[in-house]
Structure 1
Amino acid sequence: MNPIYAVGDIHGQKQMLDHALALIAADGGDDARIVFLGDYTDRGPDSRAVIETLIAGRDAGRNWVFLKGNHDRFFTRFVRQGLQHDPRVASGISWLNTRLGGTTTLASYGIQAEMRFIIDRKSGLEFLKSCEGPDGKTDIAGLQKLAQRAVPAAHLEFLEALPLWHETDDLLFVHAGIRPGLPIAAQDPEDLLWIRSPFLESSEDFGKLVVHGHTALEHPQHFGNRVDLDGGAGYHRPLFPAVFEGRDCWILTGHGRVALTP
């Protein structure tokens, strides 16, 4: 049975990504089939280098599959449209807030700025009031223009074109999860990018083992019907690559495979 590898949310952690790829190569060789579960950007220090690494792997013909994460869409929507909010963020904070990590993504492209925010009393949303960097002070429109000049079009096009799921005979890979009771073809794309409840609370047999990220844990966990591989790299915890043979799962470590069981 040919193994398939998976990497959870990277969140700009280039050194962690390099380490994960080295563990995979040691276990499965340079031609290992890898599915990346999305959220390549935000929070960590080097989103640009992460995207460059993934694009280089694609262009080299690596057997890699890339899924889109909600943070990746946040990033592209800001650069393309100047959007700093998503209705699924209940707190109403801006993508530029350090909690979401857009500032660190822009910094990886050379845009260093101190952000100042205001709260709109009517909507409750947080908006950028101004940002100040080495080249002076600007507003949201000016910051978007800086991003449009700094971010290569190839990076945006790569992220925008990514699929929302990938499946094998035994496994369904998706960034956030699925809505219970619906076939994959009927799923709302917003759920595939954002869902937590009711997916995380479901004990339903989804037919295939769902492999996802999005909901950060202290360590990847197997729940029987799903495997959450987001070990919290966006919060400076390790990035844990995994390998699957059929529905059997192992976490890769410097000491070899460690079984991940329900």
Structure 2
Amino acid sequence: MFFSRSRKSAARSTAFRITEGQRVYAIGDVHGRFDLLRLLLERIEQHRSATDPQRTQSRLVFLGDYIDRGTESREVIEAVRAGQEGQGWTCLTGNHEAMLLAALDGRLDWEVWLANGGVETLFSYGLSARDFTASGRMDELGPAITEAMPASHLAFLRGLPTHVEIGDYFFCHAGVRPGVALEQQSPEDLMWIRDVFLDSRADHGKRIVHGHTPQMEPEILPNRINVDTGAYLTNRLSCVILETDQVQVIHT
């Protein structure tokens, strides 16, 4: 995936704020890089311990794309699934999770998912794409994945929401369609949109925090914040910290 150019946005007269007394750590696209996720979580914990010893009202929000391209999708899913269940992490869906589920449900050709990093995801679950593609057994791939993936992982993927709102911030994977009310955004746009959103200088009503389009550094603009720093290519997994009207960045 190419790296997007930075774009300027129009200024806003009043600052966007996270709900008083809360702090949000929003984490960009992991893409199977469990090594980076583990390191970033350690740095988040260090930040929490140093600045908030009571650890009250801190919330982790993951922006989707846990799987594909990196080699440890299984480990990533297990980590975020366990965090969602045990620590209340908010885990959103990305377009890569959507592609896998669409292929499993017969709505997308397997070749499309495999060409977009699915080969590495299969490998993390002990499957070789070549065993199916080279021998004409593509019809067996879905059942093989269902058998190889723990039921808890599939249930996690199928249960992921497309967005969450906290204070003056709206979190989703890809972005929103300008001119459409946030409550009327389509799941497809929330997971897939790019240029029409990235090029927009509009105030969307809330500040949009998203991933999906890699940048070399987190992109912090008046109307949106892009947290995707292309972890699978750059070895940099990033997180923005939102508290009151302040934005900080930590990364691997």
Bin the TM-score by the shorter chain.
0.7 to 0.9
Shift of residue 75, structure 1, vs aligned partner = 1.6
1:16 alignment partner in structure 2: 36
Q: Distance in 1 between matches of 2:209 and 2:68?
A: 21
Q: Distance in 2 between matches of 1:14 and 1:201?
A: 32
Query: CA distance change for structure 1 residues 83 and 153 in 2, over 3 Å: closer, same or farther?
Result: farther
Q: Distance in 2 between matches of 1:27 and 1:47?
A: 26
Report the number of matched residues.
Answer: 226
Calculate percent identity across the aligned residue pairs. Answer: 39
Shift of residue 225, structure 1, vs aligned partner = 0.8
1:122 alignment partner in structure 2: none
**Preserved CA contact (<8 Å) 1:82 1:144:** no
Which one of the candidate residues 23, 32, 46 is aligned to 2:72?
Answer: 46
1:81 alignment partner in structure 2: 106
Which one of the candidate residues 108, 117, 120 is aligned to 1:101?
Answer: 117
Which one of the candidate residues 145, 149, 153 is aligned to 1:155?
Answer: 153
Of Structure 1 and Structure 2, the greater helix share is in: 2
After TM superposition, the structure 1 stretch with the greater mean CA deviation from structure 2, 163-172 or 70-79, is 70-79
Shift of residue 209, structure 1, vs aligned partner = 1.2
After TM superposition, the structure 1 stretch with the greater mean CA deviation from structure 2, 209-218 or 230-239, is 230-239
Q: Distance in 1 between matches of 2:75 and 2:251?
A: 23
**Preserved CA contact (<8 Å) 1:218 1:231:** yes
Q: Which runs of 5+ in 2 are unaligned?
A: 1-20, 50-54
Taking only aligned residues, the RMSD between alpha carbons, in angstroms, comes to 1.9
1:57 alignment partner in structure 2: 83
1:257 alignment partner in structure 2: none
1:51-93 residue CA offsets vs partner (Å, 9 max, x unmatched): 1001111232x131010101011122223437337xxxxxxx7
State how 1:108-257 maps to structure 2 within 5 Å.
108-114=124-130, 131-132=133-134, 137-253=135-251
Q: Distance in 2 between matches of 1:236 and 1:45?
A: 15
Q: Which has the higher relative contact order, 1 or 2, with Cα contacts under 8 A spaced 6 or more apart?
A: 2
Structure-1-length-normalised TM-score: 0.80
1:3 alignment partner in structure 2: 23
